[in-house]
Each structure stands twice: as structure tokens, then as C-alpha cells.
Amino acid sequence: MVQSGTQREESVRRLAAWAAAGFAAGFVSTLVFHQPVLAVLHGLGLTNRTAFRFVLVPPLGLPDILSLAFWGGLWGSALAVAQHRLGRCRGDFGSALLLGAIVPSLGTWFVSAPLHGYGLGGGWYGAEMLTSLLVNAAWGLGTALLLRRLPGAGSLSRQ
């Protein structure tokens, strides 16, 4: 089916709204879901990583927690747009759990870790890899829950 200019504009507007909602949900989910799960795993002695770090990180010299939340927002935009494009209901838990656990973890292992000098897979330490999967799964579920709760998110549904 060929879309008219008005339909295309509406589709782009809807997708942009989903991306913005996803950013907000992903940012907040990092603070409310991802980091508390990391704190629990650290408390249990399963990881050396600590939650809510305010250490300044390059390149902008922002606190680590703000940098992490920003990236959580970007991943949240991608998750929301992917769910929208796949025709999922807003905040679908199954796809959020799967995409949330796997995709950001792969990004950490194969992009972020090597850039920070930890090598591929962060050195292939099983406990740290499991930590990534668990905190990112919590982030994905939190993002889906927040997407369901955002005011007006229902009006963003696919039509």
C-alpha cells in the first residue's frame, strides 16, 4: 500500500514520539531497575562493579551514572522503535526482556569493553558476562514497564 504524504508524516511523527518515549523510559530504567540489580549482585559478591558511580568519565567528564543513563536512553529509543516496527504492543515484556538482555550486552562485550581496554567480552569472565545479562534484562523489563506507564503512550500505538 502506498502512503500519502500526510500518512507518511503521521507515521514519522508517531515513530519519533516512540523514540522519545523510549529514551525517557530507558534513561529512568537505568536508574530504577538496572542499577539496583547491579547493587544487589555486588552485595552478593557476584561482581566487582558498583552501582550509582559518580566517577567522572571521558570524553565529556560526566559522572558515570549519567553517562550510563544516557546510553540507557539511547538503547530505550532503539527498543521502543523496534517494538513499534515489529507491531508489538507498547512495552511488550517478552521482546523487552530478550532484546534488553542480549543486544546491550553484546554492545558491551564487543564494543564498549574493548574501547575501555578490557578486550573482547570484557576478558570472557563468566560472572561479569552473567552480570551484564542480568542487569540489562532488568533494564529491558523496566523500560517496557515504564513505556506502558508513560502518559499518552497508548496514543502512540500502531494504527
Least trusted range by pLDDT, from 46-55, 103-112, 146-155: 146-155
Helical pair 35-43 and 126-149, crossing angle rounded to 10 deg:
150
User: What's the confidence (pLDDT) of residue 123?
Assistant: 84
159 CB-contact burial (10 Å; exposed 0-12 / middle 13-18 / buried 19+): exposed
Sign of the C-alpha dihedral computed for residues 150, 145, 100 and 117 taken in this order = positive
**DSSP 8-state symbol, 48:** S
pLDDT band for position 91 (50/70/90)? low
Delimit the domains of the chain by residue range: 7-156
pLDDT tens-digit readout, 4-37: 778 888 888 888 998 999 999 999 999 999 999 9
Residue 39: its pLDDT value, please?
A: 98
What's the pTM value of the predicted model, to 2 decimals?
0.86
Strands (E), 36-127: 56-57, 62-63
Res. 55: pLDDT tops 70: yes
Residue with cell 560472572: 127
Report pLDDT for 71. 94
**C-alpha grid cell, residue 91:** 512495552
What was the pLDDT predicted at 3? 63
Instruction: Please give the average per-residue pLDDT across 43-51, as a whole number.
Output: 94
151: its cell numbers: 502518559
The set of cell numbers assigned to 127 is 560472572
Cβ of 66: how many Cβ atoms within 10 Å?
16
What is the Cβ-side half-sphere exposure of residue 8, based on CA atoms within 13 angstroms? 5
Give 53's pLDDT tier (boundaries 50, 70, 90). very high
Cell numbers for 78: 532503539
